[in-house]
Amino acid sequence: MTWPQYRPLSALTSRPDLADHTVQKIIRRRQVTATAPLTDAGIHPLLARVYSARGVASSALLDLALEHLLPPTQLLHADRAATLLADALATDKRIVVIGDFDADGATSTALVVSALRAFGARHVDYLVPNRFEYGYGLTPEIVALAASDNPDLIITVDNGISSIEGVAAANSLGITTLITDHHLAGRELPQAQVIVNPNQPGCDFPSKALAGVGVIFYIMLALRAELRARDWFAQRPEVNLAQYLDLVALGTVADVVPLDRNNRIMVAEGLRRIRSGHCRPGILALLEVASRQRASVVASDLGFAVAPRINAAGRLEDMSIGIECLLSEDMADARSRATRLHQLNQDRRVIEQGMQDQALDILAKLSLAEGDSAPVAMTLYQSGWHQGVIGILASRIKDRLHRPTIVFADGDTGELKGSARSIPGIHIRDILDAVATRHPGLVTRFGGHAMAAGLTLPHAGYEAFAAAFVEEVERHAEDVHLQAVIESDGELSAQEFQLALATELRFAGPWGQHFPEPVFDGRFTVVSQRLVGEKHLKLVLTPVGSDTLLDGIAFNIDPGAWPNPAVAEVEIAYRLDVNEFRGQRSVQLMVEHLVAG
């Protein structure tokens, strides 16, 4: 069967009243170049097709051995950071790490604290700003709090590139600052002793996609090299930094940074260590409470099962709960902390669902003329929304409407806190920068990167900001595809629905941002359909023209529309996965989108 390059496909939605405002999706087949170099190397033709569509031109690029990591010598100022830290170790300085309240920040904090202690630091502790009291980054207030421990050195992880006032406050107190970050730099840099950030001006590091945890891992590599040069390990065992790659894998996947080859090398090695059981108890405990099998864990398990439970601590209470889970060296202690994180995540889901229902009611009441589409950008605010959950809500609305979205909540001192999520082609931090430039005083502060950002603005300025935001997006949206696209790796033949091939696909990644897990599309005959749980559709399907029976499941369908006994055929986009039930393994189609054929 030949399909056109673009084919409309409606999203699975549990709110049919939002049909007018929910963007329809189209399937676009990925472009495949020459696959012969891959198949000639013994790679399965289907995998060769998938890899080729992701820019892999030779089997050598699939070698993810640690020896192929970019060297830390290429990362600007990593050597200066190493010298600063080696001097601090040699003189027994007091060090405080200032982390961030998400999974990248938590893994970064756990890594640097663990590694420095392993290197011999006797006075190293951490402090994570409570997002509700201190806001984001190294603020003057958090510096004042850190100063109570009389630190000689402050190290930021996953933050600090925009902390001009905070670094100035530290300088005034005689505290040295080392900024390690990966977010985009503003027009002015803080006056820190050293800044390490692959995205700062003048840094030619080939991988701009390092997460915060990747940056601090690289600094630890540079520090070990510096300590070797000083014969530091003559009287103590040398630290094996590979032991921290489980944290690097978790933080990198959780922060949804592009999985370029360098990141995939670190994530692949971290996953290998987790599968073999050579990882910290906290990660094992979090996999347990999420009902994930350690031996078969993949990147999506870290992103969708482990990371949300860590993030729940920073969203609802205190990220130190997550950090202590990752720092724990005792399995019983780790399980106790993981159980607490699991409960926080359950609480977060309840809060999020209530906010999402309210947001969808707001969208349903939009007075759009018949045939009109949603605005090019969306801002939402309702008093009482939880500021720790607005980022998730912004992401949900962005996915539903395929529009840049900012969701606001009340701050603690009368201001509004916003969390922004964007779509390909709309650089959200640059949009906020342009709004702040065109309308001085409208935005109090902002920061972030292309796809996500945070901001603060005066409560009275909400309406003016909403209008300015839409106006600025309109300036950039002319060449942006405002219809959601499902990138497909094409159709599978009946012979390709094999357990061995599905297993090979599962572990052929790691899959993630900019190196996405394969999605296929096709037309299927519906053999049976039934509802499981409250809104999950269990299907038995067979490819049109074939007698191969396949299990499929579609999550979060509209129970008012499915099951539908009148539907004999469906067009679906799906992932080929492996289902394990009572010791039996079988092929299962994870249905991403579904439309009656």
pLDDT, tens digit, 9 for 90 and up, residues 152-188: 999 999 999 999 999 999 999 999 999 999 998 888 9
- Give the Cα separation of 227 and 403 in Å (integer): 49
In this prediction, the residues of the chain whose per-residue pLDDT falls under 50 are 1-23, 368-371
CB 296 within 8 Å of CB 275: yes
What pLDDT does residue 373 have? Answer: 65
The length of the chain in residues reads 597
- Give yes or no for a contact between 153 and 95, defined as CB atoms under 8 angstroms apart: yes
What is the CB neighbour count within 10 angstroms for residue 545?
A: 9
Does the CA dihedral 182-187-189-190 come out positive or negative? negative
Going from N- to C-terminal start, the domains of the chain cover 75-343, 366-482, 487-596
User: What is the pLDDT at residue 534?
Assistant: 79
Read off the tokens for 37.
């170099």
pLDDT given at position 369: 38
Q: 234 Cβ partners below 8 Å, 6+ apart?
A: none
Task: Confirm if 351 and 384 have CB atoms less than 8 A apart.
Answer: no
Give the per-residue pLDDT at 288: 97
| CA atoms of 467 and 425, how far apart (whole Å) | 20
Half-sphere exposure of 346 (CA within 13 A, CB side): 8
CB-neighbour burial class of residue 164 (10 A; exposed 0-12, middle 13-18, buried 19+): middle
Torsion of CA 567, 573, 576, 581, to 10 degrees: -50
Q: What is the pLDDT of residue 367?
A: 53
Residue 251: what are its φ and ψ, rounded to 5°? -65, -40
Q: Does domain 487-596 have CATH number 1.20.120.160?
A: no
Looking at residue 132, what is its pLDDT? 63
What's the predicted TM-score (pTM) here?
Answer: 0.90
CATH top-level class for 75-343? alpha beta
319-370, pLDDT tens digit by residue?
Answer: 999 999 999 999 999 999 999 999 999 999 999 999 999 998 888 876 543 3
Query: Class assignment of domain 366-482?
Result: alpha beta
* Rounded Cα–Cα distance for residues 78 and 113 (Å): 18
